[in-house]
Amino acid sequence: MSNVLEVFARPEPPPAKQEMGFFTDTSLCIGCKACEVACKQWNQLPADGLEWTGHSYDNTVMLSDTTWRHVAFVEQFDSKGAGRWLMMSDVCKHCRQAPCQEACPTGSIIYNEFGNVYVQQDICNGCGYCVAACPFGVLDRNEEDGRAHKCTLCYDRQKDDMEPACAKACPTDSILFGPISEMKQHAEKRVEQLHARGETDAYIYGAERAGEYSELNSIFLLKDKPQAYNLPEAPRRPAAHMKKSYAFSFGAAIFLGAMSALLLSGDE
């Protein structure tokens, strides 16, 4: 019984700390998947099975409830064999205003003291709303334990002043971790550096607000359109038009109620 009531208690949250985040520089990624392995190992996530997709070296396909880092392999070659590889280690975007957090009806999904989006597993009841809300397709419900899972940004490691397992394991520093302000400065510099070298297709994904969508605390340096990496070019914030939707639907219900009153009261 005490367990049942415990979740209704609202203890004082820990004091806010510096906002931390990832900068994933895809121009440095060599597709070694050390991040995937380190993530699985640290977070004790099960393997995804040894299944070959057949289309590339990508065999985990997408982020999921048991895959919190996913390396995408984009192969852009023409018929003569000329072209390039693009590799990107994808992860939860830790949006500053996260659709999953806004949707979560139980308050399970929170922003923790490091400004990261975190699913409290003792609260989540597996309603599935965050799964449909995320514009990046990050969250999914685990069918064995019935709860939603995603990258925790190694909350447990951060509490002990350690960097996340994926960043620790990355051999090329394609995955950097630190205060998000520093990550953004670093990303700007890196883009300038690449542009100076003639790689003018490099740009940063997620460093500032993009219209209705908030900035991300997990930013990326990309070298092609976001779609090429299976990222949305301009994600929408689901709640942006919620009030308008409510206005229309309450309006319809009230209109029909009022008209029914008129029709039912008439004496013919």
Residues 78-137 that bind another protein (CB under 8 A): 99, 102-108, 123-129, 131-137
Helix (H) or strand (E) holding 185: helix 180-196
Closer of 47 and 261 to another protein (Cβ): 261
Residue 77 touches another protein, criterion: CB under 8 A: no
Closer of 60 and 158 to another protein (Cβ): 60
Q: Within 38-57, which residues bind another protein (CB under 8 A)?
A: 53, 55-56
Q: Which of 1, 165, 160 is nearest to 69 (CA)?
A: 165
**Do the strands 218-222 and 203-205 form a parallel or antiparallel pair, or are they unpaired?**
antiparallel
Distance CA 93, CA 128 (A): 19
Closer of 56 and 162 to another protein (Cβ): 56
**Binding segment toward another protein, per CB under 8 A, in 15-23, 160-168, 178-186, 202-210:** 202-210
Distance CA 177, CA 181 (A): 11
**Count of residues in contact with another protein, rule CB under 8 A:** 97
User: Looking at this protein, which amino acid is placed at residue 65?
Assistant: D
Residue 151 touches another protein, criterion: CB under 8 A: no
Residue 249 touches another protein, criterion: CB under 8 A: yes
Q: Indicate the SS3 state at residue 44.
A: coil
Distance CA 128, CA 130 (A): 6
Q: Within 207-226, which residues bind another protein (CB under 8 A)?
A: 207-208, 210-213, 225-226
Distance CA 41, CA 58 (A): 19
Closest CB 157 distance from another protein, rounded Å: 26
